[in-house]
Amino acid sequence: MTVATCSACAAVPHDKIEQTITAEHSLDLSVPTVHCASCIGKIERGLKTLDGVQGARVNLSLKRLHVQYDGRQTIEDAVLDKLANLGFEAHLLDGKVLTDKVDTTARGLLIRLGIAGFAAMNVMLLSVSVWAGADGVTRDFLHWISAAIALPTVAYTAQPFFKNAWLALRVRGLNMDVPISLAILMASGLSLYETALGGEHAYFDAALSLTFFLLAGRYLDHQTRAKARSAAVELTALEMPRAQKVTRGQVETVAIETLNIGDRVLVRRGARVPVDGVVAKGASELDMSLLTGETMPAGITIGDAVYSGTLNLGPSFEVNVMQIGQGTKLAEIAALVATAEATKTKYTTLADKAAQIYAPLVHLLALAAFLFWQFYTGDTRLAVGIATAVLIITCPCALGLAVPAVMTAASGRLYRAGILIRDGAALERLVDVDTVVFDKTGTLTTGEMTVVEAPKGEVLNLAASLAAHSDHPLSDAVVKLAADKNLPAVQNVVEHAGKGIEARTGSSRIRLGRAEWIGCKPIEGYVQTWLQIGETTPVAFLFEDTIKASSKAAITQLQARGLKVVMLSGDTQSATDRLAEKLGIERAVGGVLPDEKLTLVQSYGNHVLMVGDGLNDTAALAAAHVSMSPASAIDAARAASDFVLIKDDLTLIDACISLSKSAKSRMLENFAIAAGYNVIAVPIALVGLATPLLAALAMSASSICVSLNALRLTKVRGR
């Protein structure tokens, strides 16, 4: 299924990427800014013009690009440069990591579900004749045919329940699969015994319908839990698979695992740093947002430390390798995420709580029924039959569907609203949230700079003319601000990495760059660049990150619910405080690193909703009680999140909380329906009146009631 953010995207599914050549001659890249059919066409057509590129396919739902090429060494740089020229951010991924795991569990459950359904229908048809009054040899013949269909079917299709029950029993525990397995086995065994003795009743149809309904619930539950990959796997894929190794002045592309400490690698403009190391040659600027979330590039020069995954915005430079593999900063974050993910799995869902109560109760009822009838009549065959009927009629079909049915209905409604749910249990956890923590850059803001104060007229046009020669994000903002498209000409343009850009116009030297380089005192609390014309007094351009249109409304909605709202950012405290004041957020913390963000989220209690979009947010997203990310987030952040906001609208957070409350109500109602069914059905079974027909009808009726109640969720409105 393709998730499209505009109507045009629906016409370009690209669900599968064909790989017609070896993995050594293909590249996988993340393109987080692709969002529609026009983007896809632009990328694919643009890359096919490159020499050596044999094919390019964009997967819109995963925001990934797969490129096939003829094996030439320079193709990576050519592809990255082309994408940058087309206006798309991109970084290499290790495609093998992303495709190593296939969801064989879902495939197996679906196959078993189909077989169980087909067999149940056929045995039901045979049972109709028995229920209609077939007797003697005819009845025995129909029972034997039913046995021939049911026994091998049960042996194969009920394996998931048998395996889980055995795992619980091995550690002297009970789960919902223990009474399920016992009911299926006893129903099948007793039916075979009755058939061999020419008995009147057999439970083959009940055993199969029971297996079918429970497999349906298990498959739905698995699908809601398995839509997303592990965030730790996504982080591993972000690690650069190749590097440009420099040996005696010669550059060659090598696999990252072949590098050693002390080797030297070249990092070209627009490429990501493949290792942790120290700059050995050159100077440039790095986009550190992947690690810190900061909006501004950081200048680097010889001797400065650089980290894997950061993006080179300036000239090429060389790095001495200090850490590779598990020793890199990126690997440390991946380890934090893996640990955080493990803690979230300790949450006990409503279904698990019900199982802890229900499983021993069912066994005690069945045992009590057996002991009573054995003592009362002395007929072991009758006592076993009634105990089996108790197990069958109390077997948790409705309980097995209670949560998955609601999750399926909720997932559909959320998707239509613009929210993708990645973990069904998160819908239950969302009800308990008391604090919402927002990342700033890319979540509450767009990540693009807006000029808030600047000179006008000829001075602005001259600054824009100089800025047009730079790829720096602040330069882009200055150029956009200038209304005059006929900018004055400048000559002898020179860009100083990490400092600024200078040129000449007429007899005057002009410079645009950092305050320290220009020779003036920075203005506290603002992102800024300064312009100096000749020896005149420098003038400042002040910038702020652009606030998303829905941010203010979303925060107001959440505060109206009585939720505490907190903002965390890698930016300076002053910039963070200024944005918090505009949005009405009382608590904001700036200068936060990834591990500090994780610690802060954990310090806010056990019921935190974290909303973030960057690599620096992934550990906090994984550790939070519930987590969300926008569709524009990087792969790792989306994978670490329980919900993804497909539409770029933060007010959907409030809608999601509303639905979570309705969903929990439907779950509790479903448990009540299941309990009510048992209150009626158990006495009937205990007194020996539960025929196979009654058992089958009762199970089907309870399951249908639960499913219909879950469908009410699609029409819920309001808060």
| Percent over 70 (pLDDT), the chain | 81
CATH fold of 1-93, please? Answer: Alpha-Beta Plaits (3.30.70)
Residue 340 has pLDDT above 80, yes or no: no
Residue 21 has pLDDT above 50, yes or no: no
The half-sphere exposure of 205 on its side-chain side, counting CA atoms within 13 A, is 25
Once rounded to an integer, what is the mean pLDDT over residues 678-688?
79
Q: What pLDDT was estimated at residue 98?
A: 53
pLDDT band, very low/low/confident/very high, at 567 (cuts 50, 70, 90)? very high
Q: What pLDDT was estimated at residue 293?
A: 61
pLDDT band, very low/low/confident/very high, at 296 (cuts 50, 70, 90)? low
Residue 181 has pLDDT above 80, yes or no: yes
Once rounded to an integer, what is the mean pLDDT over residues 11-39?
58
Say how far apart CA 301 and CA 280 lie, in whole Å: 8
Once rounded to an integer, what is the mean pLDDT over residues 153-164?
90
Q: What pLDDT was estimated at residue 170?
A: 83
Q: Please tell me which residue, 288 or 585, carries the higher pLDDT value.
A: 585
Residue 466 has pLDDT above 60, yes or no: yes
Once rounded to an integer, what is the mean pLDDT over residues 490-513?
84
CATH fold of 419-446+548-657, please? Answer: Rossmann fold (3.40.50)
What residue has token string 């990092």? 267
How many other C-beta atoms are found inside a 10 Å radius of the C-beta of residue 520?
15
pLDDT, tens digit (0-9, with 9 covering 90-100), for 72-88: 766 777 888 788 788 78
Residue 115 has pLDDT above 90, yes or no: yes
CATH, range 240-325: 2.70.150.10
Once rounded to an integer, what is the mean pLDDT over residues 3-16?
39
Q: Please tell me which residue, 313 or 5, carries the higher pLDDT value.
A: 313
Residue 350 has pLDDT above 70, yes or no: no
For residue 314, the 8-state DSSP code is: S
The structure's pTM equals 0.65
Across the chain, mean pLDDT equals 79
What stretches of 378-496 show up as alpha helix (H) in DSSP? 380-394, 397-417, 425-430, 457-467, 473-481
pLDDT band, very low/low/confident/very high, at 715 (cuts 50, 70, 90)? low
What residue ranges do the domains of the chain occupy?
1-93, 104-226+347-406+661-715, 240-325, 419-446+548-657, 448-546
Q: How far is C-alpha 64 from the chain's CA centre?
A: 15
Q: What pLDDT was estimated at residue 199?
A: 76
Check: CB of residue 534 under 8 Å from CB of residue 506.
Answer: no
Burial 42-73 (b: 16+ CB within 10 A, else e): bbbebbeeeebbebbbbbbbbbbbbbbbeeee
DSSP string for 603-629: HT-S-EEEE--SGGGHHHHHHSSEEEE
Q: What pLDDT was estimated at residue 71?
A: 73
The half-sphere exposure of 328 on its side-chain side, counting CA atoms within 13 A, is 26
Once rounded to an integer, what is the mean pLDDT over residues 382-407?
73
pLDDT band, very low/low/confident/very high, at 278 (cuts 50, 70, 90)? very high
| Percent over 90 (pLDDT), the chain | 11
Q: Please tell me which residue, 288 or 522, carries the higher pLDDT value.
A: 522
Q: What pLDDT was estimated at residue 453?
A: 87
Residue 23 has pLDDT above 50, yes or no: no
Query: Residue 134 class from Cβ within 10 Å (0-12 exposed, 13-18 middle, 19+ buried)?
Result: middle
Check: CB of residue 206 under 8 Å from CB of residue 127.
Answer: no
Once rounded to an integer, what is the mean pLDDT over residues 355-360?
66
pLDDT, tens digit (0-9, with 9 covering 90-100), for 573-614: 888 888 899 999 989 998 887 778 888 998 998 899 999 887
Catalytic residues, by residue number, are 439
How many other C-beta atoms are found inside a 10 Å radius of the C-beta of residue 326?
11
Q: What pLDDT was estimated at residue 4?
A: 39
Q: What pLDDT was estimated at residue 489?
A: 82
281, β-bridge pairs: 318
- Ramachandran region, residue 198 (left: φ > 0; alpha: ψ -120 to 50; beta: rest): left
Once rounded to an integer, what is the mean pLDDT over residues 394-415?
72
For residue 615, the 8-state DSSP code is: G
Q: What pLDDT was estimated at residue 555?
A: 94
Once rounded to an integer, what is the mean pLDDT over residues 223-247?
62
**Residues near 391 by beta carbon (within 8 Å), at least 6 away in sequence:** 179, 182, 183, 186, 187, 362, 366
Once rounded to an integer, what is the mean pLDDT over residues 411-427?
78
Say how far apart CA 279 and CA 291 lie, in whole Å: 18
Q: Supply the Cα-derived Rg of the chain in whole angstroms.
A: 32
Once rounded to an integer, what is the mean pLDDT over residues 222-238?
54
pLDDT band, very low/low/confident/very high, at 437 (cuts 50, 70, 90)? very high
Residue 640 has pLDDT above 50, yes or no: yes
Check: CB of residue 268 under 8 Å from CB of residue 374.
Answer: no
pLDDT band, very low/low/confident/very high, at 19 (cuts 50, 70, 90)? very low
Check: CB of residue 146 under 8 Å from CB of residue 205.
Answer: yes
CATH, range 448-546: 3.40.1110.10
